[in-house]
Amino acid sequence: MFKKIFPVLATACLLNACITSPTGRSQFMFLSDSQVDQMGLQAFDNLKKQKPISTNSKYNQIASCIAGAITQQTGGNWEVVVFEDASPNAFALPGNKIGVHTGMITLVENQDQLAAVIGHEIGHVLAKHSNERASQEMAVSSGMSLIQAVSAPQTTLGQTALGLLGVGAQYGILMPYSRIHESEADMIGVDLMAKSGFDPKQSIALWQKMEQASQGRQPIEFMSTHPSHATRIQDLVRHMPHATELFQQAQAAGKQPHCN
């Protein structure tokens, strides 16, 4: 597949279809932001129609409080929905949409761990990973039909499009982000939570807890779509001095969220 796609991507980059990610990595972007945002909006609308939305006021308050603190760092208006689903999962979509399962809220031990989850998912959106994956797919196969396919999640192409956005697991298809994408989302997410006043050290505790939760069983959904590698925690440990400095600056500036 790489041999097929590389000449296309190389030519596209020469034609100015490449941008730089927040971590300085070159990315191929064939779609416009508005096109990918429309895909995200359609996918989120589908989910709200098909999945029960939680009416638990405590869960909704916690999720909105944490997401609100983090998105103050990113700008824009973000919609946050808590879905009544026991599986520990969360996601963010282009178009500024955030979904959190009740199972994730009950799994984490504190607001900082949930902030690590939400920050990580927002990191995927800020780094435009959905656009990158969809652009690569379009460069070799499906063309513009991917955009329309999001409105038909029951079809094979629709499942592919949703998988590229990062919510394919909702429809029974797992399309994990690459290790590069995961690493970028980790670093962006932990910096976002630290700048928002959440303790970045809890990101390490979160991934340790997720590993423990999946031991002896099939990997839980969040771990399936966000593959955990031994290097993930090591990378976070190496990055922690920088994130801790951001956290201390946020605390000194009075950013001390109380979302529990």
* Residues acting as catalytic residues: 121
Write the single-letter amino acid at 97.
K
Q: Rounded to an integer, what distance in angstroms lies between the CA atom of residue 178 and that of residue 61?
A: 32
Pairing verdict, β 97-101 and 79-83:
parallel
Q: Rounded to an integer, what distance in angstroms lies between the CA atom of residue 165 and that of residue 159?
A: 10
Closest Cα partner for 98 from 72, 117, 73, 111? 117
Closest Cα partner for 108 from 185, 194, 34, 199? 199
**Helices and strands counted in the chain (H then E):** 12, 5
- Residue 148 to residues 15, 142, 177: CA-CA distances in angstroms? 25, 11, 22
